[in-house]
């Protein structure tokens, strides 16, 4: 047992795509869960504007939070297309909080929608792995399988064409075209 019991309602744990943030206590809809924090980058300063990593959280045209710092546990929260939390962005305070938009049960993975820009740049090319997209893919696969089975059943029900044109194979009058007669054994 851990010596220090955490008051925080979450922990970092294994998720399908690596690590994720999971609820350890019930979290009520509307609750502020965690702050997404890190150094504030100013896009007007070239060295700060040049910083590139996948934990950048843009507040507005000028300010961006660099969430890649280790203490920022909110960086472990994965994207979902049907999330149970959202980012509450406060550009004037230069703060971002992650807030529950559903009642979250212990053991549930916490996630929020990263937004269309991130989705297009990082998730669409590799295929989104969120539970909602996995479910959609599974459904599509099942539908495709069912469709294939139906088509197969239809094909089997059709009477096979016998005789008529089917058996009228053209014969070559015994000649094997293309073979150099007599040279094979020479
Ligand atoms: Zn998705």
Question: How is residue 135 written in tokens?
Answer: 């479910």
Q: Are 132 and 80 in contact (CB under 8 A)?
A: yes
Averaged over 181-185, what is the pLDDT?
47
The Å distance, Cα 131 to ligand 1 centre, comes to 7
Q: What is the rounded distance in angstroms from the CA atom of residue 118 to the CA atom of residue 121?
A: 5
Residue 173 has pLDDT above 80, yes or no: no
Residue 115 counted as domain residue = yes
Could you tell me the CATH number of the domain that includes residue 59?
2.170.270.10
pLDDT tier for residue 160 given thresholds of 50, 70 and 90: low
In this predicted structure, what is the pLDDT of residue 29? 98
Averaged over 25-30, what is the pLDDT?
98
The Å distance, Cα 12 to ligand 1 centre, comes to 21
Residue 28 counted as domain residue = yes
The Å distance, Cα 102 to ligand 1 centre, comes to 17
The Å distance, Cα 98 to ligand 1 centre, comes to 18
38-42, 87-91, 170-174: range with lowest mean pLDDT: 170-174
In this predicted structure, what is the pLDDT of residue 85? 98
> For the chain, what is the domain count?
1
Residue 163 counted as domain residue = no
Q: Higher confidence at residue 159 or residue 46?
A: 46
Residue 42 counted as domain residue = yes
Residue 15 counted as domain residue = yes
**Angle formed at CA 169 by CA 163 and CA 172, multiple of 5 degrees:** 160
The Å distance, Cα 49 to ligand 1 centre, comes to 29
The Å distance, Cα 182 to ligand 1 centre, comes to 69
In this predicted structure, what is the pLDDT of residue 14? 96
Question: How is residue 113 written in tokens?
Answer: 């929608």
Residue 155 counted as domain residue = no
In this predicted structure, what is the pLDDT of residue 7? 85
Residue 102 has pLDDT above 50, yes or no: yes
The Å distance, Cα 115 to ligand 1 centre, comes to 11
In this predicted structure, what is the pLDDT of residue 33? 97
Domain extent, residue 39, equals 10-126
Residue 127 has pLDDT above 70, yes or no: yes
In this predicted structure, what is the pLDDT of residue 165? 52
The Å distance, Cα 125 to ligand 1 centre, comes to 12
Averaged over 18-32, what is the pLDDT?
97
Residue 140 counted as domain residue = no
Residue 47 counted as domain residue = yes
Averaged over 90-114, what is the pLDDT?
96
Q: What is the rounded distance in angstroms from the CA atom of residue 91 to the CA atom of residue 181?
A: 88
């Amino acid at each position: 047992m851990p010596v220090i019991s955490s008051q925080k309602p979450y922990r970092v744990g294994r998720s399908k795509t690596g690590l994720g943030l999971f609820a350890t206590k019930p979290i009520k809809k509307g609750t502020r869960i965690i702050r997404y924090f890190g150094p504030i980058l100013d896009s007007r300063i070239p060295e700060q504007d040049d910083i590139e990593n996948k934990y950048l959280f843009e507040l507005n045209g000028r300010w961006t939070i660099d969430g890649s710092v280790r203490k920022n546990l909110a960086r472990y929260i994965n994207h979902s297309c049907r999330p149970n939390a959202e980012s509450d962005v406060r550009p004037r305070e230069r703060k971002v909080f992650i807030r529950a938009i559903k009642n979250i049960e212990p053991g549930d993975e916490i996630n929020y929608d990263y937004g269309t820009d991130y989705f297009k740049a990082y998730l669409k090319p590799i295929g989104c792995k969120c539970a909602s997209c996995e479910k959609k893919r599974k459904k599509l696969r099942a539908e495709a399988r069912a469709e294939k089975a139906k088509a197969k059943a239809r094909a089997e029900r059709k009477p096979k064409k016998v005789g008529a044109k089917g058996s009228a194979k053209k014969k070559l009058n015994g000649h094997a075209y293309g073979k150099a007669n007599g040279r094979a054994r020479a």
